[in-house]
Amino acid sequence: MEDKNFVETKETTENDGIQFDPLEDNKNIKEKAGNEITSEEKKAKRSIKKVVIILLLFVLLVAAGIYFGVAIHYKSHFLPNTSINNIDCSELDAAQVAGFLENQLQQYVLEVTGRDFETAESGAVLGEITAAEIELKYEVNTRVSVEEILNQQNAFLWPYRFISNESFSTSLVQGISYDEGLLNEVLNSWEACQKKNMKAPENAYISEYSDKRKGYEIIPETTGTEFKVEKLQELAAAAIIAQETSLDIEVAGCYTEAAITGKDEKMCKAVSDANRMLGTEITYDWNGTEVILDAGLLKEWVSIVNNKALLDETAVSDFVKEQSENFDTYGKPRRFMTTLGIELTLPSGYYGWKTDSAAETEELLKLIEAGSVEKREPVYSSTARKKGMSDIGSSYVEADLTHQHLYLYKDGKIVFETDFVSGSMSSTPDCVTPQGVFGLTYKTTNAVLRGANYETPVSYWMPFYGNFGMHDATWRSEFGGNIYIANGSHGCINLPLDAAATIYEYVSTGFPVICYYYPVDPLAVQPEENQDTDDSEE
């Protein structure tokens, strides 16, 4: 049966001119069904899109409505983060802002600070100026000015203003007026503005010399409380117009200041120069005596006149001369103990300590100007072998002119002695050998001595007083005794050749040479015999 049906089916198909394939036919049926399903899905998707579009359009319409609605709101209200004259105007309309501004003006207070009129300390509150006291008001309609600012804002930018952290500040400048007379009354009522309470500043100045400080110092200027009220009025008016809330008249330079401050260059230099000189400390060794020159004496010499440090040069010169007179030995008589034990007072010849006053004054002036601290000796034009008033020392030549005998001392001991012939006593006075204390001028060998009527060569020449000196005299065969009286020299001390050579080896420039005559010859005086007391009574 199945085969028959199958054949019939096939035959029928062949009769139709179409070849029938069951498998292919089944495939076609499935494709047809699939096509039908796809069309329905597409229809469904199109429907969903339409719904979405409609919803989006609705949302856009609603958003647009909200956007434009809010924008319309900000046509009459200020955008977020907006301030005018430091007042937050966000979400406020012009009337509200105008009210706040008017109220703000009426609450205005200007605090004026400066120096306390009693203590002159900075930062003191001198007074306050309120709006009511001076009838402070705006010169134009505040409402109109605020509306002008409101009209200038872009209301359509409100979304940006919501999400932005920026602040948008505006200053409303509409002019302010006040009663000038009332302002002056307020200021003049303050204690600080009373003339009786104002203290003028005092200039800095240089103090007198201070023993405690051992110098001068600058006394600083004093801070005054004096100022011109007219200047304060100008400053206060400008501050009110600018709506400033504080005014420091010290910072504004209102006060009268000292004309001379402690930083004045001339004063500072004068004090510095004077104190430098006063800081001088010179410790002198003045012929064996310590002399200290410091501020104790310098304060009398150093002064400040017309902002200039001055040093009294005459006082410095007098100081040097005074020390010279006290400690110089040159030209002063000396006590001298002779070998025979007789103390004589001898005139000073060319020997001793002598200060070169001019040179030392010049040096001391330089030292004081530099403020030096040092130890020193003065400049000498002549020196001795020993410091002190007894400056001969223990090494010297002693020429006993009375007995025509010479002693050579070395370290207190006689190391050599000899007879000699000194200047003639019966000739002219200029041939007499002078007595006194001298210092050897120099020494030399093989010199030629010349006078008015003589020219004599010598082997050893040792001058000690001008053309007077010690030398060998080979033309003499005898020395000592009384030869000098009638047949003496022209003033020199004539010595035997070997004696002159010996002395020459011991002496040097400056070596003391003491020459003297006894007023009474100690060797010629006979001591009186002592008598018993009983005999004298009889």
Tell me, yes or no, whether 36 and 161 share the same domain: no
- pTM (predicted TM-score): 0.67
Residue 499 in any domain: the answer is yes
Residue 274 in any domain: the answer is yes
Q: Is 354 in contact with 331 (CB distance < 8 Å)?
A: yes
| 259 Cβ contact partners less than 8 Å away, ≥ 6 residues apart | 203
Give the helix ranges, DSSP H, for 74-221. Answer: 94-106, 131-134, 142-152, 158-163, 180-188
Across 420-442, average pLDDT: 92
Instruction: Report the run of H or E that residue 93 belongs to, with start and end.
Output: none
Residue 487 in any domain: the answer is yes
Across 386-404, average pLDDT: 96
pLDDT score recorded for residue 43: 80
Across 38-44, average pLDDT: 77
Tell me, yes or no, whether 417 and 318 share the same domain: no
Across 135-154, average pLDDT: 81
- Please indicate whether residue 247 or residue 537 has the higher confidence score (pLDDT): 247
Across 250-259, average pLDDT: 94
For residue 208, pLDDT over 50 is answered with yes
| 467 Cβ contact partners less than 8 Å away, ≥ 6 residues apart | 491, 492
pLDDT score recorded for residue 85: 75
- Please indicate whether residue 535 or residue 145 has the higher confidence score (pLDDT): 145
For residue 329, pLDDT over 70 is answered with yes
Note the maximum CA span of the chain. Answer: 226
pLDDT score recorded for residue 9: 37
Comparing CA positions, the residue from 125, 133, 126 lying closest to residue 108 is: 133
Residue 253 in any domain: the answer is no
For residue 89, pLDDT over 50 is answered with yes
Q: What is the pLDDT of residues 108-126, one digit of tens each?
A: 999 999 999 999 999 999 9
pLDDT score recorded for residue 197: 94
Across 506-513, average pLDDT: 96
Q: How far apart are CA 529 and CA 410, in angstroms?
A: 38
Residue 200 in any domain: the answer is yes
Tell me, yes or no, whether 31 and 112 share the same domain: no
Phi, psi of 114 (to 5 degrees): 180, -145
Containing structural domain, residue 279: 266-328+355-382
Q: How far apart are CA 282 and CA 318, in angstroms?
A: 16
In total, how many domains does the chain have? 4
Q: Which range among 1-10, 101-110, 362-371, 452-461 shows the weakest confidence by mean pLDDT?
A: 1-10
Question: In sequence order, what are the beta bridge partners of 248?
Answer: 113
| Strands 82-84 and 168-170, bridge-based pairing | parallel
Hey, CA dihedral for 497, 501, 502, 507, is it positive or negative? positive
pLDDT score recorded for residue 523: 92
Q: What is the pLDDT of residues 476-492, one digit of tens each?
A: 999 999 999 999 999 99
DSSP string, 146-162: HHHHHHHS-GGGHHHHH
Comparing CA positions, the residue from 306, 302, 284 lying closest to residue 293 is: 284
Tell me, yes or no, whether 285 and 419 share the same domain: no
Q: How far apart are CA 313 and CA 369, in angstroms?
A: 11
For residue 375, pLDDT over 70 is answered with yes
pLDDT score recorded for residue 15: 42
For residue 165, pLDDT over 80 is answered with no
Neighbour tally for 13: CB within 10 Å: 13
pLDDT score recorded for residue 87: 81
Residue 192 in any domain: the answer is yes
Instruction: Report the run of H or E that residue 440 belongs to, with start and end.
Output: none
- Residue matched to tokens 């206060």: 236
Q: What count of residues does the chain have? A: 538
Across 380-406, average pLDDT: 96
Tell me, yes or no, whether 430 and 362 share the same domain: no
pLDDT score recorded for residue 1: 38
- Residue 290's Cα: distance from chain center in Å? 35
3-class DSSP state of 3 = helix
Q: What is the pLDDT of residues 126-136, one digit of tens each?
A: 999 999 999 99
Tell me, yes or no, whether 91 and 170 share the same domain: yes
What average pLDDT is seen over the chain? 87
pLDDT score recorded for residue 531: 43
Residue 532 in any domain: the answer is no
| 129 Cβ contact partners less than 8 Å away, ≥ 6 residues apart | 109, 110, 112, 183, 186, 187, 236, 240
Q: How far apart are CA 425 and CA 306, in angstroms?
A: 68
For residue 526, pLDDT over 50 is answered with yes
pLDDT score recorded for residue 33: 52
Tell me, yes or no, whether 461 and 504 share the same domain: yes
For residue 468, pLDDT over 60 is answered with yes
Q: Is 199 in contact with 224 (CB distance < 8 Å)?
A: yes
Tell me, yes or no, whether 143 and 125 share the same domain: yes
Q: Give the CATH number of the domain where residue 509 resides.
A: 2.40.440.10
Tell me, yes or no, whether 230 and 279 share the same domain: no
DSSP string, 4-54: HHHHHHHHHHHHTT----HHHHHHHHHHHHHHHHHHHHHHHHHHHHHHHHH
- ∠ Cα 57 61 67 (to 5°): 140
| 315 Cβ contact partners less than 8 Å away, ≥ 6 residues apart | 300, 301
Most confident of 87-91, 169-173, 321-325: 321-325
Tell me, yes or no, whether 415 and 275 share the same domain: no
Tell me, yes or no, whether 66 and 87 share the same domain: no
Q: How far apart are CA 205 and CA 83, in angstroms?
A: 55
**Measuring CA to CA, how many Å separate 40 from each of 25, 33, 48, 53, 145?**
24, 11, 13, 20, 68
pLDDT cut 90: percent of the chain above it: 67
Across 445-471, average pLDDT: 93
**Measuring CA to CA, how many Å separate 269 from each of 23, 37, 112, 215, 217?**
129, 114, 40, 13, 11
Residue 187 in any domain: the answer is yes
* Confidence class for position 323, pLDDT limits 50, 70, 90: very high
For residue 530, pLDDT over 60 is answered with no
Q: Which range among 91-100, 231-240, 324-333 shows the weakest confidence by mean pLDDT?
A: 91-100
Q: Is 11 in contact with 17 (CB distance < 8 Å)?
A: no
DSSP single-letter state for residue 469: E
Q: Is 106 in contact with 97 (CB distance < 8 Å)?
A: no
pLDDT score recorded for residue 26: 55
Q: Is 235 in contact with 254 (CB distance < 8 Å)?
A: yes
Tell me, yes or no, whether 68 and 94 share the same domain: no
pLDDT cut 70: percent of the chain above it: 90
